[in-house]
Amino acid sequence: MAQDIRKMMQQDPDRGGKLPEGHEARFEKKLQEAFGEKKKKRSHFLWMKIAAAVVIFLGLGYWYMNLDTSGTIGDGPEIVDTPQEDAVEEPGITLGDLSPELKKVQDFYENGILVQLSSLEDDNDNKELIDGYKKRLAELDEEYKRLNEQLNEIGPTEATINALVDNLKLRLELLFKLKNKLKELKQLENEQFKEEIG
């Protein structure tokens, strides 16, 4: 039933190639109905993501602000033993000062490190393991300070920024490995205890 448009136009010369009145308005209305709701849903979903991120950062900020001077929350475990120097550190550029995105990255990793450190359960059975990991963390912390000094002396370079982010990432990964090792030790102790009883 296909028809040739040219023949139709020759047979009905009154149309003259003009669209019916209001055709464009109806077409725009249909487009708006078809695609307008998707934009609303997308922007609503975007606001949900933003709200979730804000809640997470506020929660981490509240938790961080409630740390007492010993680096613990209440009677919780000790965070890190770092000696305090008498000299006042010179103010300088940090990773977070370079851009808002880098500030978010720095805050994310630093808060993750603090959360993981505060959740460690230190007892006589795993003290040696935890102390070994804390020593490695202290070495990485010193390296981070050295990289920060380099950032202030030379200025921001891609290599320095990547090294700072990698340092933070490595510290967090190290803590995750420690938690997995502690979990494995606990499972091993439970299995040995069951064998002794059974």
Position 87 scores a pLDDT of 43
Task: Determine if the pTM surpasses 0.75.
Answer: no
**How much is the pLDDT for 143?**
93
Amino acid at 13: P
What is the total residue count of the chain?
Answer: 198
Position 86 scores a pLDDT of 46
Q: 3-class DSSP state for residue 28?
A: helix
Q: What is the CA radius of gyration of the chain?
A: 31
For 147-176, write each residue's pLDDT tens digit: 989 888 888 888 888 998 999 999 989 988
d(CA 60, CA 77): 18
Residue-wise pLDDT tens for the chain (198 aa)? 577 777 777 776 665 556 778 878 888 888 777 776 555 555 666 777 787 888 887 877 777 777 654 444 545 555 555 555 444 455 577 878 888 888 888 888 888 888 888 888 777 777 888 888 889 999 999 999 999 898 888 888 888 889 989 999 999 899 889 888 888 888 888 888 777 776
> How many whole angstroms separate alpha carbon 120 and alpha carbon 47?
35
A 10 A CB-CB count for 167 gives 20
